[in-house]
Structure 1
């Protein structure tokens, strides 16, 4: 995945909008401590430029956030370590500073006015349609930085853009026309679609158990947490009209109707009483919390819950998961009661027994075994394959491939037009398509597609140019590193 990202990203398209939005949206991601040497917080020196710890961490945070968006909830620090994101972030910081050193040599610079013009465009700092200084400071504080550091980072990004513009090239008209014809070329094909249903396999308990034995590390219980819990039901006190009126007037904005308008006192009365009872109950809960924390009283119940099934709301669940065994959390409301929770222990995943894992192992065994048998069937059929004649197809002919849904058809066609083999097989999620290319022809030139073709070609050309520039600069400027990733 890392190599894919490196190959497919245009070097300096980690400029203002990608890096800044990632910064404002993701916050800071740390990874423990390193010995950064004696360079005052520098992880490396490139030419005459120091690569600061902050700059290195910013690259890591941005990269971490990109992967988190790709992999979702399954992405964590352990996965980041396996993907070696620290070194990838470090390499990116070094390569950017090679380009910045070259900018220095060229005499390029970024003025404070240019920085200011970019600052006022960043959505995270906009309030009521315009740049807001207080919001700006608040967002930076939340991300553990300050205007000086952030604007220096923005200035580096702008300088990177200036270098990119110098080396920016555009595809020529004849190149665009030829690529236009090539990209939308057509192949005359025969195909045969094989699916998992075309193979028969024998499924026995013995075979499932053998599969489980070989893959038992894939079948683990979910991580759980052992909790002690005490519940305090909300009080049902009666409050005077003055108490209700006083609370309503003090917290009017808490009582809003669905249409966005404030409720009147009469409309909000029931909600106000509930709020007053919550306030009264909280005082009781806090007193009990202190006694439980000091072990002067015992919790009412003990239970063990799978971490993913914690029901207490995103914020409370996160607090429980981030707690250290022995922590007693402050009271919070859940299902009309105040709860006081003590985290007793974290229960790590354990390998499931065969009986507990049998159903899952059976599904996996069947899928894997059918896949293997399907591959064998496809290989044997390919020798004297005839198939069904489809006719000429292009990358967009997904509606001409009967037996495949639109997504599978598009995947097949993209792979077909990337292959160099006249006869072969293309594997999809649960199918294999045998194909024979009978004839090929370039598409007729379609001027309406020039813009898309030009955009693709310009990106490829500029990416290759910048990659070559970086390789040249690696020999031009000395790099002194303070980090050894092999330790």
Structure 2
């Protein structure tokens, strides 16, 4: 996903208004901040437009949440850094700044009235269909964002929306004719779908052992840690209903369902209670930490665990991995309690002997052997297209065709790759499956009303993408970028 975002980043900048609306509507949980300096400082200047720390943080949190939702528990600060999320955010804001400079030249502005109407129209800031100032202020408070900063971000987004409406034009007849020529092509093919299940490979113990010997470094025991853990329970903390509801209203934007809709107090009550207990129990956990440090308390348990074990939280593992033997780590939440951890010993990975690694090596060897056998079958089919087992109807980009044994999603992927290939005969990879095909006939289909609409929409989309790419290229040469911080 990140690769797609980086490749298409130049197109995404002009839709930032939509992203901001989605961000607010989803009741963003406050994950991810990337601090470079004081909150009011500028981290860069593009032409006459400054990129502020607040705007960077807002956009960073927005994208962080987007990835966290799509990747679930597999996304954290370390993953964000690995994906170069700060650089992706900065590049997006630079391109937005290019457009804001152009809007300034054209004299495009967003009035206070237009801004107020945009904010008031957001359903997340409404109660009973009307704007509720208290909800708006609660949102700003929960995000640690000033009204001035948020409204400045929103004003920029509305300015870009105005600019793009002014300068974007739809396709002209000639462009639609060229697109029609591409979309009207229909191919009839013969094809065979192959997958690893289509080849049989028997386990060869000698071959598996040889494979293990060549890849020993891949078969190591996990890093393990001998830990002293002092648990601080929070289950005895029981606020009354009024106090719990007050806590909920203060943090209501943090409680959303899978679709990003804010949950009611009753629906979120169990999570609210847990969060309240964790917050209220922090002081007791810190006192336990001090007592353990001074030797006045003993650990609740001593255990050796593999790195990343779900017995401890991701946040705690992140800390443990940065500490050496003898380190004492301040309390971190694990479920509904706190854990204060002392690292007694770090047990480094070592290469497994063959008996220990045999099952893992056998699985990897089998996968490799099946790939090799599958590739041989594919090569034989490519040499003999008459052996392809299935024949399709006429296929085109405008039709939704399922090509057995592929499912609909795989069929659509195949069609997209087929119509961007120059090969009459070829191989198309679909995850673990391979489709060997040969085009046996081709024709131009007569257009109907649906095809005409599809042609116009496609031509408009291609023109818009090309226009935005070329526009940003021109603007990048016109407006210099000055960075005031490192690391972006």
TM-score (norm 1): 0.74
Report what 2:32 is aligned to.
Answer: 29
User: In 2, Cα distance between the equivalents of 1:485 and 1:319?
Assistant: 23
Inter-CA distance 81–166: structure 2 relative to 1 (3 Å threshold): same
Please list the CA deviations of residues 91-136 of structure 1 after superposition, one character each: whole Å capped at 9, or x if unmatched: 2222211111111111111111111111123343233433222222
- 1:112-261 equivalences under 5 Å are 112-172=112-172, 175-176=175-176, 179=179, 182-183=182-183, 185-201=185-201, 203-212=203-212, 213-214=214-215, 216-217=217-218, 221=222, 226-229=227-230
Report what 1:257 is aligned to.
Answer: none
1:65 aligns with 2:55: no
Identify unmatched segments of 5+ residues in structure 2: 247-263, 267-276, 321-326
Please list the CA deviations of residues 414-436 of structure 1 after superposition, one character each: whole Å capped at 9, or x if unmatched: 32222110011122233322211
Compute the displacement of 1:294 (Å). 5.2
Compute the displacement of 1:231 (Å). 8.7
1:365 aligns with 2:389: no
User: In 2, Cα distance between the equivalents of 1:250 and 1:63?
Assistant: 35
Please list the CA deviations of residues 11-42 of structure 1 after superposition, one character each: whole Å capped at 9, or x if unmatched: 444322303433652535234547x9xx9822
Report what 1:473 is aligned to.
Answer: 475
Report what 2:20 is aligned to.
Answer: 19
SS of match in other structure, 1:15: helix
Compute the displacement of 1:232 (Å). 8.3
Compute the displacement of 1:304 (Å). 4.2
User: In 2, Cα distance between the equivalents of 1:109 and 1:234?
Assistant: 54
1:95 aligns with 2:95: yes
User: In 1, Cα distance between the equivalents of 2:241 and 2:88?
Assistant: 56
Report what 1:353 is aligned to.
Answer: 352
For the 8 Å contact 1:188–1:438, the answer to whether it is kept is: yes
User: In 2, Cα distance between the equivalents of 1:252 and 1:473?
Assistant: 52
Inter-CA distance 188–302: structure 2 relative to 1 (3 Å threshold): same
Number of corresponding residues: 437
Please list the CA deviations of residues 144-194 of structure 1 after superposition, one character each: whole Å capped at 9, or x if unmatched: 211010000101111111111112111245654764564364211112333
User: In 2, Cα distance between the equivalents of 1:484 and 1:340?
Assistant: 36
Picking from 342, 345, 352, the partner of 1:344 is: 342
TM-score (norm 2): 0.74
Compute the displacement of 1:343 (Å). 1.9
Report what 2:446 is aligned to.
Answer: 444
Inter-CA distance 209–114: structure 2 relative to 1 (3 Å threshold): farther
Picking from 410, 418, 421, the partner of 2:420 is: 418
Identify unmatched segments of 5+ residues in structure 1: 236-246, 255-259, 263-277
For the 8 Å contact 1:29–1:60, the answer to whether it is kept is: yes
For the 8 Å contact 1:45–1:480, the answer to whether it is kept is: yes
